[in-house]
């Protein structure tokens, strides 16, 4: 985080196109889309594919699990997004 920026202070638009890297150094891909939790109003998942591609899958639940990262796993955001490993 920059200048004491909190996770809640991050603009969604700034996440698009950022690389997602695990704390172990594995490159997962880049943010192509964002899934929101409509109840909380917060970010639910960072998607590695556009939502429209996931929605066209025969098994949407499996496609989402394979091509997304839970936002709750995000540890930090700067030029890339660092996430905890599963």
Domain assignment present for residue 62? The answer is yes
Give the whole-angstrom CA distance, residue 9 versus residue 12. Answer: 9
1 within a domain of the structure (yes/no): no
Distance of CA 8 to the CA centre of its chain: 14
Q: Are strands 80-83 and 19-22 parallel, antiparallel or unpaired?
A: parallel
Average pLDDT on 52-76 reads 95
Instruction: Specify the CATH number for the domain of residue 26.
Output: 2.30.30.240
Position 70 pLDDT exceeds 70: yes
- Arithmetic mean of pLDDT, 53-67: 94
Predicted confidence (pLDDT) per residue in 33-58, tens digit:
999 999 988 999 999 999 999 999 99
Range of the domain at 33: 7-83
pTM for the full model? 0.84
- Report the Cα–Cα distance between both ends of the chain, in Å, rounded: 22
**Count of structural domains, the chain:** 1
Classify residue 2: in a domain, yes or no.
no
């Amino acid at each position: 985080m920059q200048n004491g920026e909190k996770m809640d202070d991050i603009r969604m638009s700034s996440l698009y196109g950022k690389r997602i890297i695990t704390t172990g150094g594995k490159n997962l891909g880049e943010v192509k889309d964002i899934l929101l939790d409509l109840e909380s109003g917060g970010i639910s998942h960072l998607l590695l594919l556009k939502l429209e591609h996931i929605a066209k899958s025969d098994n949407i639940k499996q496609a989402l699990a394979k091509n997304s990262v839970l936002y709750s796993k995000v540890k930090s955001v700067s030029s890339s997004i660092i996430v905890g490993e599963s």
